[in-house]
A and B are shown apart, each in its own frame.
Chain A
Amino acid sequence: MGGVPFPVDMLARRVFLRGMAGSLGSMAVSHLLRQQGTARGDEPVGNASPTPGASFGRAKSVICLFQHGGPSQMDLFDPKPLLTRYDGQPYPGGDLEAHFDQQKGNCLGSPYKFAKYGGCGMDLCELLPHTGAIADEICLVRSMKTESVDHEAALRLIHTGKFLAGMPVWGSWVLYALGSENENLPAYVVLSDPGGLPVDGERNWSSGWLPAQFQGTTFRSGANPVLNLTTPSGISGAARRRQLDFLKQINTGHLNRHPHSSELAARLTQFETAARMQTAVPEVLDLSSETESTRKLYGLDEPATQEYGTRCLLARRLVERGVRFVQLYLSGQPWDTHSKNAESLKGLCRRTDQSSAALVRDLKQRGLLDSTIVIWTGEFGRLPISQGKDGRDHNRHGFSLWLAGGGFRRGHVHGATDEFGYAATQDIVNVHDLHATLLHALGLDHRRLTLPHDGREASLTDVDVTGAQRVDALLG
């Protein structure tokens, strides 16, 4: 069903657009038209002079492997020999911004070895052998920067581009612009950790002031993966069928009295869609059709990787079925290594490295990688100095992330931090630039993807305020 625009969805979206605000309608229609177009990536939204580049609009879907807490870049992605030499000595580079600035210690070198991986010779930590094995597929950004050393604020910045809570996340913007390709599944799915919600909870996938339909829908483990998905016990399939028929009869009668309302028509058919969703969701969650080798690839046979691996595999199954946006979260904020930094990283990498890499390999072998962006990131990085004995505090001035597929460059390292790994110094990419680039890869111009809100044209990148710039160097 992929790629076919759905009239029902369109109708509903049009009605919503009218429901919002007068000036919104015409604005958003351009997105809708773009979605209706048969060719993807033919033209950026409303952009008169497109600057496509080879990758423009190649991506159709996004999988975000979100690593809550702030993974330590100098221990994982960004080797700093000089820092190792200074281990235990006062930091020579002057003042550092920390979250807990009373607890600043001396330089803390990474105890882990780095090695060159892949044909591209990407330097990665020994804790990430599987990521190393896909080095030639990924684009590693070592020069990320954000604007807060506070978890919540930084989480919002990378999810919504804004400090304050309650704004639409980028998944919602993408969904708003591109719509759904499979109406029997939610278009924006969150695979949350069975262990619990991440820090800042549902705000990480909230549509904010955008309508609820652009919100991420959580798939939970267990019998009831989506809220209210299952028919209550005691109501047989036949009874429910009969009830749906009766409801349709009532609604049809009502619609006949209001034949002009496309919104009523849309709502009428959505009971049928909901019923189809009741089978489509369990189908996608059922892994029995996956081969033994696939299961092994994701580490489903190992206790350490089984849980996270299952969700990575689900992510692939979802984009395979036309889901637009998938996000994985870890419970709490495991990468927040304020103490026992090095020790904690072992377990975290053990848990996530294999399956994250497996996802990229699997997408590639199924021909889905070109149309899927995989992004592995946290909300900020960590400091080159110690906090307490063996921890690292938050760092907004430099962190690393990697991207794969969807038109991003392969086997490429972008940017650099200073010799201690504190601040991005070369080819700096801030979170707004990242957003602009991601939207571009999805065929969207961040300057045009706007909506009137709070009296102004709101957007993900808010370019007038942030000066966000697309980073073409990340794209292949």
Chain B
Amino acid sequence: MKHRSIISRPVAGPTLAAMVLAIAGEVVATRAAESPSWNADVAPLLKRHCVKCHGPAKAESRLDLATASGLLRGGEHGSVVAPHDPDSSRLWLRVRENEMPPDEPLGAAERDLLRRWISEGAPGMQQAGTSGEHWAFQALDAPRRGPRYSPSDSTSQVPPSVFSAFRDPLDESIASRLRERGLVLAEPASEQTLTRRLSLNLLGIPPPLDEVEVDEVGQIPDGSERQVDRFLASPRYGERWGKYWLDAAGYSDSNGYFNADSDRPLAYRYRDYVIRSWNRDLGFDEFVRQQLAGDEIAGFVPGGEATPESIELLEATHYLRNGQDGSGESDGNPDEVRIDRYTALESSMQIVASSLLGLTIQCAKCHDHKFEPITQREYYQFQSILYPVFNIEQWQKPNDRFVLAPLAGQREEWQGRVDALSELARTKQSELTAWVRANRPRGESLFEATFDVADERLAEHWSNTAPGDDTPGGTPAVQLDVDARPGARIVDGQLWIMESGAAGDRWLCTRQSFDWTPARKDDVVEVTFDLIADTLPGGGTPAARIGYLIAAGDFHDQRDRPGGNILIDGNPGGSTAVHLDYPGADARSVGEIGAAGYRSGRNYGLRITNLGDDKFRLEHLVDGMVDGKNMTLSSADLPDGAFAWEYCCDRSFVIDNLRIELLPGRAATEAEPDEFIRELKAMREATDRIVQERDALTRNPPGKIYWASDMHPEPPTVHWLERGNYAARKDPVEPMMPAALSDFTRPFTVAVRGPETRTSLRRLALADWMTATGSKAASLLARVQVNRIWQYHFGEGLVATADNLGLSGAPPTHPELLDRLAAQLQSDQWSVKRLQRRIVLSATYRQSSAADRLSLERDPDGRLLSRFPLHRLDAESIRDALLAASGELDTRMFGSYVPTSRDAAGEVVVPENATGARRRSIYLYQRRTQVLSLLAIFDAPSLVFNSVSRPRSTMPLQALSLLNAEFVANRARALAVDLTTPNPLESASERPVDDPQRIAIAYRRTLGRPPRTEELDAARLFLREQAGYYPESSTGVVQALADLCQSLMASNEFLYVE
């Protein structure tokens, strides 16, 4: 048992006690029987004379005299009642001077009543003003604004003479509760312990070696305020504390909901925004405002240019869309689709309520909340604030919900690159096509149409009537060589197919019939054409299909002709459908050929090869090369017939150079590609690469942000739903926040929209309402945040239920402390770093985690903080600490996530050789259904809504992974290799296997301290013996060291914060 220092444990004197009372603001008034009563006398008086102007409706001077709490809070000029002192009470002075009420002064009896009530201490005001309200819903005194946190500001908040060993007033709050149980704060932890605690707590990794080293030589002074400031300024800080916020905000890189759990490829921009904001200590109020209404604050108009500032604001709004959203995959009936959409909206609501207000609201979806003062109507009023973002009737799927916010010049720069690539692609393609035309093997031409002959008329070679028909096909039929609704015509040496009506299929047929079944085995018939454009010059919709027929016989399907009329339905998206006996009732789809899509500038066509045995292979040709799948037909499928263009319904396009050729024996050369094919292949690959590059760039215009914003400028009408039934719409509701959280003086008010306003401004109103310093909502917001911060410093919050500060939540262990810190957070301009600095420099935080008998007996679970609560690192910290200890931590920040994958054994891992495999856990793929196995086993959540506290389980599978997981073994090995890598300054002499120096470094790197003597002895013995198990002496040393390092990494001391 260690000796306790008396000096560090002062007994509070009277001065202290008085201060505590003042801090706690507990003014206790005694109430005499004959005194005027608040309820019976004063409240009615104020109601009669004052409330018309100073009440819920008007609240002039921001003063609400309708309730005791309003009176207690005062107005814009401050408090209006000073108990026991009428002459300092603004309320009385204005009445005494007959300034108030303005038109009808109070009578003498009423004046006397009011004065006496104040003289006697305003009995009932305090109690009535606070008792009726849940503690967490009460407004905190509107605090004065203090200075922001800055690292240079290292002045202690309290003169040491007053508090002696107490370093912050918060210590007195903790100590006074302990005193009630006859307990005191534990003695301070050692500097080493503190350094490790601070580092793991503030940065999420063990202390950098230099912090430990400096410590050892004793250069860091007690208190190490500079160390705290160094940690708070580290970029690692935002990665640690930003992650806590991301959990609260429900951040994930996937959409969840369905099995697909599809990707959110740009969600990382929000993650990076959060890390940056925490690192620069953006005021928490502003942080919240940006996330709720960044788009409305920025006033960004899509299509315009953005600034770095407005980009941050737009990125912040991703907060609202962190919930699960399966609407991108919805494929059910309309009721299911509606459920899927509402789920996204409701998830967003729940995340806002949970992460900002510490409230559960979902119960109020179907009925008034049973525990919290939230009515069903209020639930839908709240819903109407977020509804414009998730407008069920004008839905956008998650991956379509983005905005382009490029910086000045970015769009032009991007367009320039796209244009240049497009131009290059066009050039390459026309070179290719020209080359193919010049060099392709020629067969016997059966038909050729170049449409180049001057004054050529279509009717000479083409017809609108199929060879087997008497009348033209289609309604109306294709008009040849006429100007009115022509259907098809030759223009500038090319054939224009002009869709001119939606009804009926129409053909433009060759007058000539062809034999589509080449006579001998390996003989080939090819039909090819250049697709010049998939739209007509001058615009129009790109053709949905490029359709053509072979073996075309009779449009009207009157003759009993099996097979023929083979429609080749070329799809711009890829794969070409083949239909036999088209059109008519007996038309049947026989599958698909090819793979490539129909794109302007390429040469397409078919090849029919005689395979013998009445089999004919039908292949798709692109630029003279066989493409994708083929199919086999019989001669019955391929009767003699015309070639035809089929068109209707969005099928306007331009073609040229139609050729039908017979190539005897051509197929025989296919097995060994000839010069032509080889060269063609190379040229085409080069062209394809450029096209792919162009397409990829086109899909990624600059400034793409997954944002949340109103879908439509006109605010939608939102109804409340009876029993939460989506089909049971009732009255419309107006946007509003629950009355229990609202002050009359700072109401929820939606600004009037101007003609240019493109959003409802409802979320801006919400942001203003929630962050109006000193209001009920802001006070709750501050309490929720302080409690969460406290929880992540001490393992548990002042309110144990961090997800619930409502009536059904746990009561705070130290209510006055929570309120004071929440008030301070507001007066410190919502600087969280300042709050944290206050906490980690307190004696409470810096006490030892060793427990004595009394502390264990009277504070068994440590909730009263009679010692620093020992707690296990969370999952991410375990992984990050392993990487930091091994010296491998890759500290690159930001950007797209590092992918994870499921290996053959079913473990979710980042492959060791993958780029970014050693980056911090926050940068790994946060996929809901694919949590990294190592993290999942240490309780990393798969998010439903959000997570504001983690369970901490202890199970054998954790031991198995610490012992056998490849990831852990590799970290141990890396550290061992590091330890044995010779320092060039050292002598080259071989060091012994049990070298104490290496052991000492291993201890410092993993546990942040040197080994004790007995530990050193044990470690040396272990190394000597362990090396004996590895016969290869050259590697035995490293392996034994790796086993030592792994043992340290798997040890409780490594896994726990003391």
Given A20-B949, A452-B801, A203 and B1050 contact (CB-CB distance below 8 Å): no
Q: Which of A166, A246, A456 contacts B1022 (CB 8 A)?
A: A246
Q: Which residues, 2 to 16 on A, are CB-close (under 8 Å) to B?
A: 12, 15-16
Q: Which residues, 947 to 994 on B, are CB-close (under 8 Å) to A?
A: 947, 949, 951-961, 963-966, 969
Q: Does B1015 contact A (CB under 8 A)?
A: yes
Q: Would A148 and B959 count as touching, CB distance under 8 A? A: no
Closest beta carbon of chain B to A178's beta carbon, Å: 16
Closest beta carbon of chain A to B189's beta carbon, Å: 12
Closest beta carbon of chain A to B1048's beta carbon, Å: 7
- Pick from B180-188, B252-260, B456-464 the stretch touching chain A: B252-260
Closest beta carbon of chain B to A158's beta carbon, Å: 15
Q: Would B956 and A274 count as touching, CB distance under 8 A? A: yes
Compute how far the CA of A243 lies from the CA of B343 in the bound complex, rounded to whole angstroms. 51
Closest beta carbon of chain A to B341's beta carbon, Å: 13
Compute how far the CA of A18 lies from the CA of B333 in the bound complex, rounded to whole angstroms. 45
Residues of B with C-beta under 8 A to A254: 1051-1053
Compute how far the CA of A229 lies from the CA of B907 in the bound complex, rounded to whole angstroms. 12
Given A15-B954, A270-B954, A456 and B808 contact (CB-CB distance below 8 Å): yes
- Pick from B313-321, B736-744, B938-946 the stretch touching chain A: B938-946
Residues of B with C-beta under 8 A to A236: 1029
Q: Which residues, 145 to 175 on A, are CB-close (under 8 Å) to B?
A: 148-152, 163-167
Q: Would A227 and B960 count as touching, CB distance under 8 A? A: yes
Given A21-B801, A167-B944, A12 and B953 contact (CB-CB distance below 8 Å): yes
Q: Does B324 contact A (CB under 8 A)?
A: yes
Given A227-B957, A228-B960, A220 and B906 contact (CB-CB distance below 8 Å): yes
Q: Does B928 contact A (CB under 8 A)?
A: yes
Q: Which of B366, B928, B1056 contacts A165 (CB 8 A)?
A: B928
Residues of A with C-beta under 8 A to B905: 220, 222, 224, 227
Residues of A with C-beta under 8 A to B326: 152
Q: Does B246 contact A (CB under 8 A)?
A: no
Compute how far the CA of A228 lies from the CA of B961 in the bound complex, rounded to whole angstroms. 6
Q: Would B964 and A228 count as touching, CB distance under 8 A? A: yes
Q: Which of A227, A263, A268, A455 contacts B906 (CB 8 A)?
A: A227
Compute how far the CA of A249 lies from the CA of B1052 in the bound complex, rounded to whole angstroms. 11
Closest beta carbon of chain A to B365's beta carbon, Å: 10
Q: Would B360 and A456 count as touching, CB distance under 8 A? A: yes
Residues of B with C-beta under 8 A to A164: 257, 324, 343, 347, 944
Q: Would A22 and B801 count as touching, CB distance under 8 A? A: yes
Q: Would A242 and B256 count as touching, CB distance under 8 A? A: no
Q: Would B1026 and A229 count as touching, CB distance under 8 A? A: no
Q: Would B332 and A243 count as touching, CB distance under 8 A? A: no
Q: Does B800 contact A (CB under 8 A)?
A: yes
Q: Which of A20, A150, A152, A454 contacts B951 (CB 8 A)?
A: A20
Q: Does A266 contact B (CB under 8 A)?
A: yes
Compute how far the CA of A255 lies from the CA of B335 in the bound complex, rounded to whole angstroms. 58
Residues of A with C-beta under 8 A to B804: 452, 454-456
Residues of A with C-beta under 8 A to B333: 97-101, 149
Q: Would A226 and B1051 count as touching, CB distance under 8 A? A: no
Residues of A with C-beta under 8 A to B964: 228-232
Name, among A19, A99, A212, A214, the residue most crowded by chain B CB atoms within 10 Å (CB to CB). A212
| Chain A residue, CB-CB nearest to B1035 | A234
Q: Which residues, 897 to 953 on B, are CB-close (under 8 Å) to A?
A: 905-907, 928-929, 933, 936-939, 941-945, 947, 949, 951-953
Residues of B with C-beta under 8 A to A208: 942, 944
Residues of A with C-beta under 8 A to B324: 164-165
Compute how far the CA of A464 lies from the CA of B362 in the bound complex, rounded to whole angstroms. 13
Q: Would A250 and B954 count as touching, CB distance under 8 A? A: no
Q: Does A88 contact B (CB under 8 A)?
A: no
Given A152-B258, A228-B965, A22 and B863 contact (CB-CB distance below 8 Å): yes
Name, among A164, A278, A465, the residue most crowded by chain B CB atoms within 10 Å (CB to CB). A164
Given A209-B941, A227-B933, A242 and B1029 contact (CB-CB distance below 8 Å): yes
Closest beta carbon of chain B to A204's beta carbon, Å: 10
| Chain A residue, CB-CB nearest to B875 | A212
Residues of A with C-beta under 8 A to B872: 263
Closest beta carbon of chain B to A280's beta carbon, Å: 10
Q: Does A389 contact B (CB under 8 A)?
A: no
Q: Does A264 contact B (CB under 8 A)?
A: yes
| Chain B residue, CB-CB nearest to A465 | B366
Residues of B with C-beta under 8 A to A151: 259
- Pick from A77-85, A105-113, A194-202, A422-430 the stretch touching chain B: A194-202
- Pick from B834-842, B849-857, B878-886 the stretch touching chain A: B849-857
Q: Which residues, 325 to 375 on B, are CB-close (under 8 Å) to A?
A: 326, 331-336, 339, 343, 347, 350, 354, 359-360, 362-363, 366, 370-371
Q: Which residues, 999 to 1033 on B, are CB-close (under 8 Å) to A?
A: 1014-1015, 1018-1019, 1022, 1025-1026, 1029-1030
Residues of A with C-beta under 8 A to B969: 232
Closest beta carbon of chain B to A69's beta carbon, Å: 12
Residues of B with C-beta under 8 A to A165: 256-257, 324, 928-929, 942, 944
Q: Which residues, 653 to 697 on B, are CB-close (under 8 Å) to A?
A: none
Residues of A with C-beta under 8 A to B957: 186, 212-213, 217, 226-228, 274
Q: Which of A23, A163, A166 contacts B810 (CB 8 A)?
A: A23
Closest beta carbon of chain A to B969's beta carbon, Å: 6
Given A228-B961, A249-B1018, A166 and B944 contact (CB-CB distance below 8 Å): yes
Q: Would A211 and B939 count as touching, CB distance under 8 A? A: yes
Closest beta carbon of chain A to B928's beta carbon, Å: 7
Q: Which of B929, B955, B1014, B1025 contacts A212 (CB 8 A)?
A: B955
Q: Would A226 and B1052 count as touching, CB distance under 8 A? A: no
Residues of B with C-beta under 8 A to A285: none
Compute how far the CA of A92 lies from the CA of B944 in the bound complex, rounded to whole angstroms. 42
Q: Would A148 and B336 count as touching, CB distance under 8 A? A: yes
Closest beta carbon of chain B to A103's beta carbon, Å: 11
Q: Does B378 contact A (CB under 8 A)?
A: no
Q: Which residues, 603 to 620 on B, are CB-close (under 8 Å) to A?
A: none
Compute how far the CA of A260 lies from the CA of B860 in the bound complex, rounded to whole angstroms. 9
- Pick from B391-399, B578-586, B749-757, B1039-1047 the stretch touching chain A: B1039-1047
Q: Would B953 and A270 count as touching, CB distance under 8 A? A: no
Given A21-B801, A208-B942, A243-B1043, A199 and B259 contact (CB-CB distance below 8 Å): yes
Q: Would B336 and A243 count as touching, CB distance under 8 A? A: no
Compute how far the CA of A247 lies from the CA of B1054 in the bound complex, rounded to whole angstroms. 12
Q: Does B56 contact A (CB under 8 A)?
A: no
Q: Which of B332, B347, B933, B936 contacts A150 (CB 8 A)?
A: B332
Q: Would B359 and A455 count as touching, CB distance under 8 A? A: yes
Closest beta carbon of chain B to A383's beta carbon, Å: 12
Q: Would B954 and A206 count as touching, CB distance under 8 A? A: no
Residues of B with C-beta under 8 A to A261: 870
Given A22-B800, A230-B964, A270-B958, A258 and B849 contact (CB-CB distance below 8 Å): yes
Compute how far the CA of A240 lies from the CA of B850 in the bound complex, rounded to whole angstroms. 32
Compute how far the CA of A254 lies from the CA of B1052 in the bound complex, rounded to whole angstroms. 7
Compute how far the CA of A202 lies from the CA of B933 in the bound complex, rounded to whole angstroms. 11
- B860-879 interface bits toward A, Cβ cutoff 8 Å, 1 = contact, 0 = none: 01010000001110000000
Other 10 A-B pairs with CB < 8 A, given A22-B800, A100-B332, A250-B1047: A19-B952, A149-B333, A200-B259, A224-B905, A228-B961, A250-B1018, A254-B1052, A271-B963, A454-B362, A455-B359
B positions within 8 Å CB-CB of A: 256-259, 324, 326, 331-336, 339, 343, 347, 350, 354, 359-360, 362-363, 366, 370-371, 795-796, 800-801, 803-804, 806, 808-810, 849-851, 856, 861, 863, 870-872, 905-907, 928-929, 933, 936-939, 941-945, 947, 949, 951-961, 963-966, 969, 1014-1015, 1018-1019, 1022, 1025-1026, 1029-1030, 1039, 1043-1044, 1046-1048, 1050-1053, 1055-1056, 1058
7 closest cross-chain pairs (CB), A and B: A22-B800, A455-B360, A166-B944, A455-B804, A211-B953, A239-B1029, A274-B959
Q: Can you list 16 A-B pairs, Cβ within 8 angstroms, ordered by A?
A: A16-B952, A16-B953, A19-B871, A101-B333, A165-B256, A165-B942, A211-B951, A227-B957, A232-B969, A246-B1043, A249-B1018, A258-B870, A271-B1050, A452-B801, A455-B804, A455-B806
